[in-house]
Structure 1
Amino acid sequence: MKLLHTADWHLGKALYGRSMLEEQKWFLMQWLLPLIEQEKPDAVLLAGDIFDRQVPPVEAVELLNTFLCGLAQQGVPLVAVSGNHDSARRLSLGTSLLRREKVVLATRPEEVWIPYTIQTADGPLCCYTLPYCEPAAARQALQVQEDGPRTMDTAFRALLARVHLDPTAKNVLITHCFAAGGRISASENPAFVGGSSQVGLDCFAPFDYVALGHLHASQKAGTGRYAGSPLKYSFDEADQKKGVTLVTLDSTGTHTQVVAIIPPHDVRVLSGRFEELLAAAKETPSKDYLQVRLTDTSPVFQPMDQLRTYYPNLLHLSSDWLLSAGDGEDSAFCREMRCRRVSDEQIFTAFLQQICGTEPTEQDLALFRKEMKKEGQE
C-alpha cells in the first residue's frame, strides 16, 4: 500500500511581513493535487500545523476548503492531526460530517485509541491519530491528575500505552511533536522544542510507520520520518531540500521516497559587496525571497532601495559595516536606546555616523535643533 506524508503547511504564513499565500496556493492546487492524482495513494497523511496561527486569515481557510474539495473529487482519504500552531477547537468543527467524505481531522488526544481504518487492495490500514497535546491535555484525556504525566515524553508514552495495534493490518501513527534528536529551524516556535518537550523515539517502535510533523527539515526519526514543511519559512531553511514523502508498506517492510518541491520563488541568502550584488541583480533580476548581507567596509547609500529595483522580494538586509561601526547590539548607544535615555540629538548624531560616516558639524546640529523646535510648535 502507498501513502503520501506531508506536514507543516502553515497556511497564512508571512515571511518578514510578506504573505506566502500565493506560494501555498501553488503548492496545494498546482503541485500537490496533481501529484496525488498521479500517484493514487491509499491515503494522504497530514501531520499538523495546517495553519500558521490559531486564528488564520480568511484566505487561508478558503484555500484549505478548496483543496479539500479537490481531494474529495479524487476520492483519496485525508488523515490529519492538529499541530501546536492550530486551534484544535476550530479544526474540530464538522469533523463527523467530514469523515463521510474520507477527511479525518483529529484534534483530541484520546482519538488515538480508536484507529481510522482504510480498506485497501493490499489489506487494512489502521491510522492512529495523536494531535499535538501538552501534558495537561494528556492528563485530562487519561483522566488522571495527581500522578499523571508532566512531560511530553511521559504524556505520549501514557497515551500510546493504551493503543492496541491490529496484527492483521499495517499500523501507522500520525502525530505532531518534537522527536528526540531532531534538527530544528528558526521558523519553529522555541517554546515547543527541546528539554521536557522531547519525545523518545522508542515509543514509536511498534508502528509500521510514524508520520511526524513539527520540524521543518525533512529527516528520519526512528521508525518514522518528518516530511518537513513544503516551503521554506525562514532564511535559515534556505539550504534545505523541501518535499513530501511517499511511503510504501509491503511484505518486505517500509520504504520511503522524498519527492522534491521546487516552488516558483525560492528563499535565498546572498552575501557580498554591494557593487558586486547590484551588478549581479542587474544581470539576473529575480522575484525570489531574499535576505542580503553586505560585507562592505564603508557605508552604502540606500542599498535596499537600489537592490529592490531588481529584487522586488528583498525582505531583509544587514550590513557588516553598520554593525561594526556601532559595535552591534552591545554598543553604548544601543544600550542607552534600550533604557530609553537617548535624546533626539543623539539619534541624529548616530544616524550621521552610521549611515553617512561623518560627524555632525555645529551647523548641522544648529539646523537640526531649529527644525525640531519648529516641529514641536506645530
Structure 2
Amino acid sequence: MRFLHTSDWHLGRLFHGIHLTSDQAHVLDQFLALVRESKPDGIIIAGDIYDRAVPPIEAVELLNQLISQILVDYKVPTIMIAGNHDSAERLGFGSRLLAAQGLYVAGALRREIEPIILYDEHGPVYFAPLTYGEPAFVRERLSCPDVSNHEQAIEAMVQHVIRKIPNKARSVAIAHAFIAGSLESESERPLSIGGSSMVKGAVFQPFCYTALGHLHNSQQAGNPSIHYSGSLLKYSFAEAFQRKGIHLIEMDKVGGITVERISLSPRRDVRCIKGYFKDILNHSIDQGNQQDYVSVTLLDEMPILDAMGKLREKYPNVLQIESPRFLKKGVLSGLPRDHRKLSEKELFAAFYHQMTGENMTQEQQMHLVDVIETVYREEREAIL
C-alpha cells in the first residue's frame, strides 16, 4: 500500500500579521500534483488542519476546494484527525455522511474508536484514528478513571482500538502527540501547561507505522516506524533551517515500510539574515530571494534611524529586526534568556516576582496553570 502522510497545515495562519492563505494554497497545489503523480491508496492528515477553532472563511474555502479535488477528481480516500488547534466538534461535523464519499474525519473522541479499513492488492490495512483528546476528556469518554496525563490518554485509545484489529494485520496509527525526545519549535502550542504532555514511542509498538502530527520539524520519533511529517510551511523564524514536505509511505504485504520525504517549494521562504546594516543593504552577505519573509539580526552597536523602512526597500517582507545589544538581558528583570522564548507560566512567574519581590507558591502556580489551560480550551471552542 502506498499512502501520503502530512499534518499541521494550520490553514488560516497569521505570520507576524500577514495572512498566509495564498502561501498555503501555493504549496497545496504542489501537494495535489503529488497526489496526481504518485496515485496513493490513501492520504493521512494528522491534525491541526486549521490554525484555530473558528478559521477564516478563506481557509475553509481552501480546504473545501482541495478535498473536493482529491475525492472527486483523484478518488483517493483521505483520513484526517483533529489536532489541538482544531475544534474537534466543528471538524467532525457530518463525518458519517462524508465517510461514504471517502473522507474519514475523526473529530471529537467517540466512546468507541473504530479503525478505518483501506485495501490494496494484498488485502486490508487498518488505520487507527487517535484524534487529539485532553486527558480529562479521554478519562470521561472512554471510562478510564486512571488517565491523568497525555501518555495514559494515548495508551487508553490504543487499547480501545487495537482489540478491533485482527492479530498480525497490517495497521497504521494516526495521532497528534509529543513523543519524548523529539525536537520542538517555538510556533507549536504546548499540549499541557501543568502536567506532562510527553508520550513514549513504545505506546505505538503494535502498529506497523505511526503517522504523527503536532511537532513542526519533520523527523523520526525514536522508532524507525514512527514519524512526524512536519508542518506544511515554516511558521516561525526558529523553523528557518527546517525542510518542509510530505512523507510518501510504501507498505509491503507483511507491514514493512519505506519512508520517502518529498520537499515542497514555498512561494516565499522564511529566512534569517545576520550582519551589519550597510552590508545587508548592499546584499554583500545575502544572495537569497528578496521577496522572502526575513528576520534581520543587526550587529551594529549604534542605533539606526528607521532601520525597518530602509531594509524594506530591499526586502519588502522584513518582518522582524533584532539587535544583540537589546537581548543581553530580558525585558523583565532577572530573566535568564530572551523573554519571547519563555512559556506563559515562566513569564507570569517573573512578572509576579518583579511586582511582589516574592516567588509564587506551589498553590498559586497550580491555580495559574488551571487558568491558562481554561483559556486554551475556551479559545479552541470560541464562537466569534
On whether the aligned pair clears a TM of 0.5, the verdict is: yes
Instruction: Please list, as runs of the form range in 1=range in 2, the aligned pairs for 1:46-195 lying within 5 A after superposition.
Output: 46-72=45-71, 73-110=73-110, 113-144=113-144, 147-162=145-160, 163-164=162-163, 165-167=165-167, 169-192=169-192
Question: Which residue of the partner structure matches residue 243 of structure 2?
Answer: 241
Segments of structure 1 that go 5 or more residues without pairing to the other structure are 333-337, 340-378
Q: Secondary structure at the match of 2:83?
A: coil
Query: Does the aligned pair in 2 maintain the 1:132–1:177 contact within 8 Å?
Result: yes
Residue 266 in structure 1 maps to residue 269 in structure 2: yes
Q: Secondary structure at the match of 1:277?
A: helix
> Cα–Cα, structure 1 residues 284 and 251, in superposed 2: closer, same or farther, change >3 Å?
closer
Question: Which residue of the partner structure matches residue 13 of structure 1?
Answer: 13
Name the aligned partner's letter for residue 34 of structure 1. Answer: A
Q: Give CA deviations for 1:210-232 in whole Å, capped at 9, x if unaligned.
A: 10000000111223100000210
Question: Which residue of the partner structure matches residue 297 of structure 2?
Answer: 293
> Cα–Cα, structure 1 residues 329 and 173, in superposed 2: closer, same or farther, change >3 Å?
same
Q: How far apart, CA to CA, are the structure 1 residues paired with 2:87 and 2:331?
A: 36
Instruction: Please list, as runs of the form range in 1=range in 2, the aligned pairs for 1:226-375 lying within 5 A after superposition.
Output: 226-251=228-253, 253-280=256-283, 286-322=290-326, 329=331
Q: Give CA deviations for 1:224-258 in whole Å, capped at 9, x if unaligned.
A: 10000021000000000111101111146111010
Q: Which has the higher contact order (CA 8 A, sep 6+)?
A: 2
> Cα–Cα, structure 1 residues 175 and 323, in superposed 2: closer, same or farther, change >3 Å?
closer
Question: Which residue of the partner structure matches residue 362 of structure 1?
Answer: none
Q: Secondary structure at the match of 2:127?
A: strand
Bigger radius of gyration, 1 or 2? 1
> Cα–Cα, structure 1 residues 112 and 306, in superposed 2: closer, same or farther, change >3 Å?
farther
Query: Does the aligned pair in 2 maintain the 1:178–1:194 contact within 8 Å?
Result: no
Q: Give CA deviations for 1:54-100 in whole Å, capped at 9, x if unaligned.
A: 11111101100000111012100100100000000111111111111
Aligned-pair CA distance for 1:322: 4.8
Query: Does the aligned pair in 2 maintain the 1:51–1:85 contact within 8 Å?
Result: yes
Name the aligned partner's letter for residue 70 of structure 2. Answer: L
Question: Which residue of the partner structure matches residue 36 of structure 1?
Answer: 35
Aligned-pair CA distance for 1:330: 5.1
Q: Give CA deviations for 1:159-215 in whole Å, capped at 9, x if unaligned.
A: 211222224642111111111111100100135489611111111011011100000
Q: Secondary structure at the match of 1:268?
A: strand
Q: How far apart, CA to CA, are the structure 2 residues paired with 1:303 and 1:31?
A: 36
Query: Does the aligned pair in 2 maintain the 1:215–1:228 contact within 8 Å?
Result: yes
* Percent identity (aligned): 39
Aligned-pair CA distance for 1:323: 5.0
Query: Does the aligned pair in 2 maintain the 1:178–1:192 contact within 8 Å?
Result: no
Q: How far apart, CA to CA, are the structure 2 residues paired with 1:130 and 1:283?
A: 44
Could you tell me the TM-score, scaled by structure 2's length? 0.81
Q: How far apart, CA to CA, are the structure 1 residues paired with 2:48 and 2:17?
A: 19
Alignment size in residue pairs: 330
Q: Secondary structure at the match of 2:315?
A: coil
> Cα–Cα, structure 1 residues 330 and 118, in superposed 2: closer, same or farther, change >3 Å?
closer
Query: Does the aligned pair in 2 maintain the 1:112–1:128 contact within 8 Å?
Result: no
Q: CA RMSD in A?
A: 2.3
Q: How far apart, CA to CA, are the structure 2 residues paired with 1:330 and 1:168?
A: 57
Aligned-pair CA distance for 1:158: 1.8
Residue 22 in structure 1 maps to residue 22 in structure 2: yes
Q: Secondary structure at the match of 1:259?
A: strand
Q: Secondary structure at the match of 1:280?
A: coil
Instruction: Please list, as runs of the form range in 1=range in 2, the aligned pairs for 1:199-238 lying within 5 A after superposition.
Output: 199-221=199-221, 222=223, 223-238=225-240
> Cα–Cα, structure 1 residues 297 and 52, in superposed 2: closer, same or farther, change >3 Å?
same
Name the aligned partner's letter for residue 248 of structure 1. Answer: E
Q: How far apart, CA to CA, are the structure 2 residues paired with 1:181 and 1:22?
A: 34
Query: Does the aligned pair in 2 maintain the 1:293–1:320 contact within 8 Å?
Result: yes
